[in-house]
Amino acid sequence: MRIVVALGGNALQADGKPATAESQLEVVKETSIYLADMIQNGHELIIAHGNGPQIGRLVIQNEYASKITPAMPFDVCGAMSQGMIGYHIQQALKDELKKRGINKSVSSIITQVVVDKNDKGFKNPTKPIGPFYDEEESKKLQEEKGYIMVEDAGRGYRRVVASPEPQKIVELDTVKILVNAGQVVITVGGGGIPVVETVNNSLEGVAAVIDKDLAAERLAEDLDADVFLILTAVDRVAINFGKPNQQNLAAMSIEEAEKYAIEGQFAPGSMLPKVKAAIKFAASKSGRKTIIASLEKAKDSLSLTGKSGTVVAENFFNFI
């Protein structure tokens, strides 16, 4: 199957470990084992990934060093994070494939994604970036730097920035050429570098972070993928999460997923954007399906037996 894989933050950076390049590479090496398992099974992978913690840290580094060297704009920091993470994934995955005797090229594409300059996301920042802070640190950052800080799923406070919806992947033709040549392609990293089209049809970077699941969904549609695989820290989507009556779901129809989203079953900063992206892909064409699963059980979820992951499809009974 042709599969667009959206890697969550746990696939790039482990909780409790230092946020260093060396630590990230070690986590990515573990992630590459699971990606290589799917490739070894004959699947064609196109890989997308997030960059929330990384771009946040790059922005902080630029701000603190601005008295020594000029700070880079937000969109440039996005490009830097995309290149850094893509480099780690392509290096680690290529090494893992070599160990298995699989001769496949792995390429990273620095990818721009067009957004609407009038997108409502610019007026209502919602995308968490950077590290977590306690309440006191959060208030200090709001006062001193003017950041918009929000509580993020009970884990602390984070800065939020604009998150416009993806409209068009600029380098899509390049991605298609490489995919059709049999390469494993890493693209729309961090949701892609957000750009707007100017009056003379040129592109201009903007200060924002596109949700990586929505950008990966756009990619999955454009590449006519069979499966959109969203990998995260949990094995299944749940309703009544954290309550005594929590229910882990093996499958949801599009209608059920929409109903649960309206009911507020999914946290805005974590599962909700994943479910929204899952619905969008499953509804885009008859027969398409999204799977939300943990990284560790990604290969098992593709068997569609209902033992791992949550399938979102027009009629999930066709797949389980």
The question of whether 9 is a catalytic residue gets the answer yes
The question of whether 212 is a catalytic residue gets the answer yes
Give the residues across from 169 on adjacent strands. 113
Q: Among the options 8, 10, 130, 309, which is catalytic?
A: 10
Q: For residue 99, give both structure tokens.
A: 């160990």
The question of whether 42 is a catalytic residue gets the answer no
Instruction: Count the neighbouring beta carbons within 10 Å of the beta carbon of residue 167.
Output: 16
The length of the chain in residues reads: 320
The question of whether 127 is a catalytic residue gets the answer yes
Angle at 277 between CA 206 and CA 212, to 5 degrees: 40
CB 165 within 8 A of CB 117: no
Rg (CA), the chain: 19
Q: Among the options 52, 56, 94, 127, which is catalytic?
A: 127
Q: Among the options 8, 130, 212, 280, which is catalytic?
A: 212
Q: Among the options 8, 9, 190, 191, which is catalytic?
A: 9
Q: Which helix (H) or strand (E) holds 227?
A: strand 227-232
Of 269, 314, 306, which is closest to residue 290 (Cα–Cα)?
314
User: What are the Cα distances from residue 131, in Å, to 3, 77, 138, 159?
Assistant: 30, 16, 11, 8
Q: At how many degrees (to 10) do helices 52-64 and 74-99 cross?
A: 130
The question of whether 10 is a catalytic residue gets the answer yes
Q: Among the options 94, 274, 280, 289, which is catalytic?
A: 274
Catalogue the active-site residues.
9-10, 127, 212, 274
